[in-house]
Amino acid sequence: MRFTRSSTGTLFVGGALALTLAALAYPAMVGVQTVSSSPTRIVAQTSAGPLTEADRDFVVKVRAAGLWEYPVGQMAIAKGTSPAVITAGQHLVAGHAALDATVRRIAPQLGVTIPNLPSPQQQGFISTLTSDSRGAQFDSDFANILRITHGSIFNTVAKIRSTTKNTLVRALADQANTTVLDHITVMEKTGLVNFDTALFQQTTPPKLPDSDLTPPVPVPGAPMVVLTPPPANAFSPSPGPSPTYPAAG
C-alpha cells in the first residue's frame, strides 16, 4: 500500500498519538465503571494532583505513540536512503524510548493502565512502511506520515500542558512537547514533506470508528513491552531488535 493523498486520509485518523482515543476503552484503568464525555471530568485524586479524563488519555496516547513510532524509527535507520531520513529514524527511537520510560514510571502512580500494542490504525502505519521497499517510496512515506501525525499532536500537547493540574502529567507534556517539536523538525529536514497534503490532513481528518483508534487493553499478566533506549550518541546502520508485542487478547 502506497502513501497517497487518499491513503493518508484513511491512515491518518488516530495518527501517531491516536488523538481521538476513546476513554470508554479504558474504564477500568482508574476503577470507574461509567465514563462521561467531558475531558475535564476528574477520574482520580492522586498524590500528584487531580487526574482528568484528558490527562489519563494523554498518558495512554504517549505510550501508544511509542509502540508504533519506535519500530518505524528502526525501519528508517535500516531502510532510509538519505542521511536525513536515517537521522530522523534515530530521533524517533531515542525520543520515544525516553518518553516511554517516563510513561512506564508515572502510570502506576496515576493508576493508569497503559497498552502493550498500538491501535489498529497505528498498526496500519507500520504495515504501510513495512511494505515499502528500501528506496524513495519508503523515504517519502516515512517523512510525510510522521510529519502529519506529529503536526496534529502539537496543539494537543500544548493544551494538556496549559490545563492539567497534575504535576506528573504536566512534566510528561513538557517532555512530549520537546520531543514532538524535534520530530517535526527532523521530518521537515528530509526535504520530502508535502506541506499542502500535511496541512490538509491535519485540518480535515476523516472519521474512523473508535475501535480503529484505540489500543487493545493489555492482556492480564502479559509482560510489559519496553522500548529500549539506544546507547548514548551511538547508532549503528543496523537497528537493534524490534520490541516484541504480546498477542492481543
Instruction: Give the CATH number for residue 87.
Output: 1.20.1260.10
Rg (the chain; Cα; Å): 17
Residue 49 backbone phi and psi in degrees, to 5: 120, 175
Region 166-182 average pLDDT: 98
Q: Residue 27 falls within a domain, yes or no?
A: no
183-233 pLDDT tens trace: 999 999 999 999 999 999 888 877 888 888 899 999 999 999 999 999 875
Report the number of distinct structural domains present in the chain.
1
Give pLDDT, residue 37: 56
Give pLDDT, residue 178: 97
pTM of the shown model: 0.80
Q: Residue 59 falls within a domain, yes or no?
A: yes
Q: What is the DSSP string of 19-50?
A: TT--GGG-GGGGT-S---S-TT-EEEEETTEE
Q: What share of the chain is helix, strand, coil (3-state, %, to 5)?
A: 60, 5, 40
Q: Residue 223 falls within a domain, yes or no?
A: no
Give pLDDT, residue 207: 85
Residues β-bridged to residue 52: 42
Nearest one of 66, 239, 71, 200 to 142, comparing CA atoms: 71
Q: Residue 242 falls within a domain, yes or no?
A: no
Residue 121 · residue 64 · CB < 8 Å: no
Q: Residue 41 falls within a domain, yes or no?
A: no
Give pLDDT, residue 38: 75
Q: Residue 37 falls within a domain, yes or no?
A: no
Q: Residue 211 falls within a domain, yes or no?
A: no
Look up the domain containing 94 and give its range.
5-17+49-205
5-21 pLDDT tens trace: 344 444 443 333 333 33
Q: Residue 221 falls within a domain, yes or no?
A: no
Q: Which three cell numbers stand for residue 170?
A: 504536566
